[in-house]
Amino acid sequence: MTYKTEQEDFWAGEFGDEYIQRNQSAQLLASNLALFASILSSTTGIKHVLEIGANVGMNMRALSPLLPEGELHAVEINENAATELNNLGFLTSVFNGSVLDFNPAQTFDLVFTKGVLIHLAPEMLPEVYDKMVSASSRYVMVAEYYNPTPMEINYRGHSNKMFKRDFAGEMMERHPELKLVDYGFVYRRDPNWRQDDTTWFLMEKA
C-alpha cells in the first residue's frame, strides 16, 4: 500500500513488525493499568473508546478490566499488529490502516493516543488533531513526550521518526472547545509503575 508520508511506511513495514516484540510485558501492562486508572478517575460515563495507534493492544488490555461494559475500538497501521488486536477477542472493531485514511462512522466518549503522535509527520498533525476532536463526543487524551517547543529526536538510529512538542497545547489552540481537565507525568524511574517519561493530558469538549 502507498502511504502519504515516510513515517507511515516506516511503521507499516519491517520496523513496525520488530516493534511488536518490544512492546509486550507484564510490567508494561501493570504500569498501564495504574496509568489509565488515574486518567479515568477524572472522567465519567465512558463507554465507547477509540485508540489511534493501538499496536498489539497493551493499552486496550488495561482498559478492558477498567471499563468492563465499554466498547473498545482501535486504529492500527501495521497489519501484523492489527491481527494481534483482532485475536484479543474483546475489541469491538479494528481498522487496519493509517489514521489519515480513517473515517469513523460514529463518535466515541474517549479518543486517545499514547506514544503515537510523536511518530507522525509534523505537517500531518493538524489533520490528526481535527480527526481526533471530530471523532470524540466528550473526551480527548494524549500521552506523549512533551516539549514546550517542537524538536526532533534520533530514534533508534533513524532520523525524522520521532518528535517532541506540546501536542495538547496545539490541539487546544486549534480547537478552543477543548478544555483541560487533568494532566500528569510518569517517570521512567518510578519504582512501581514506570512509563517512558510520559506526559498525559485529558481534555473535554465544552
Tens of pLDDT, residue by residue over 115-131, are 999 999 999 999 999 99
Query: Per the domain annotation, does 187 fall within a domain?
Result: yes
Q: What is the mean pLDDT of the chain?
A: 94
Q: Mention every residue, 6+ apart, whose C-beta is less than 8 A from residue 4.
A: 98, 100, 121, 124
Query: Per the domain annotation, does 52 fall within a domain?
Result: yes
Which pLDDT score, from 0 to 100, does residue 6 have? 84
Which pLDDT score, from 0 to 100, does residue 133 have? 98
Which pLDDT score, from 0 to 100, does residue 160 have? 84
Which pLDDT score, from 0 to 100, does residue 122 have? 95
Q: What is the pLDDT of residues 20-78, one digit of tens each?
A: 666 678 999 999 999 999 999 999 999 999 999 999 999 999 999 999 999 999 999 99
Query: Per the domain annotation, does 86 fall within a domain?
Result: yes
Given a contact cutoff of 8 angstroms between Cβ atoms, the answer to whether 85 and 57 are in contact is yes
Query: Per the domain annotation, does 171 fall within a domain?
Result: yes
Cell of 18: 520488530
Instruction: Give yes or no for residue 1 having a pLDDT over 80.
Output: no
Query: Per the domain annotation, does 1 fall within a domain?
Result: no
Q: What is the pLDDT of residues 104-115, one digit of tens each?
A: 999 999 999 999
Which pLDDT score, from 0 to 100, does residue 5 have? 86
Is 198 or 1 the better-scoring residue by pLDDT? 198
Q: Alpha helices, DSSP H only, in the chain? A: 6-12, 14-22, 26-40, 58-66, 79-88, 125-135, 167-174
Q: What is the pLDDT of residues 153-170, one digit of tens each?
A: 998 888 888 999 999 999
CA distance 74 to 125: 19
Domain residues for 146? 6-205
In angstroms, the first-to-last Cα distance of the chain is 38
Instruction: Give yes or no for residue 16 having a pLDDT over 80.
Output: no
Q: Give how many domains the chain has, as a whole number.
A: 1
State whether the Cα torsion 69-85-113-198 is positive or negative.
positive
CA 175 to chain centre: 19
Query: Per the domain annotation, does 33 fall within a domain?
Result: yes
Which pLDDT score, from 0 to 100, does residue 25 have? 84
User: Residue 203, SS3?
Assistant: strand
Query: Which domain CATH number covers 57?
Result: 3.40.50.150
Query: Per the domain annotation, does 23 fall within a domain?
Result: yes
CA distance 138 to 117: 20
